[in-house]
Structure 1
């Protein structure tokens, strides 16, 4: 038997607002029946569905699971755009002192937080990886 991932689910205080953020990030679509105040909201992309489920608990520790984003353009431009949507930079792992041993300058990733503090990483684009290999 084989399973496949159908949905990635996030606990959130405000499902509609967080789903709207991620729909913009992933150029996805909110479900037609999702509205502010609903206890759940979903975002569908070409490759996955994200479900945002209302939960009153606060986030207190690092996520055990997170998304890694691969932009279709320069990582730096993607990070700047995500900041305009309400994300924040948590840790810039692209700086020389934070790269893994042996990594070339420009490698690494940027750890960001969505509007509710969930971590996600922004990797290099495929073109950037190719240019740095």
Structure 2
């Protein structure tokens, strides 16, 4: 199983796939429920969704202070998933936007074919 960090492009690509959930109104795309990444049927918030996925997949979430990275690396760092001594770890920057964090988690789970516990 590859162990790679999600890049901004990966998350943007995943978020753009959510753009298909928009409704056309007068030729202009408008997001449903105030969030372009969410269908109108889902009313929960990204923090709740993130926590539910971490429990479902048995992930330990670690927040990392990315200020030690070079600026170009800091700007592109979104998240990293790894399995360490049988433990599933998801590393995210401290203070990351909840929607970005949730999108990154979904990208990693899908790309690395992580199965629920």
User: Could you state the TM-score of these two structures normalised by the residue count of structure 2?
Assistant: 0.29
Task: Select the structure that is richer in helix.
Answer: 2
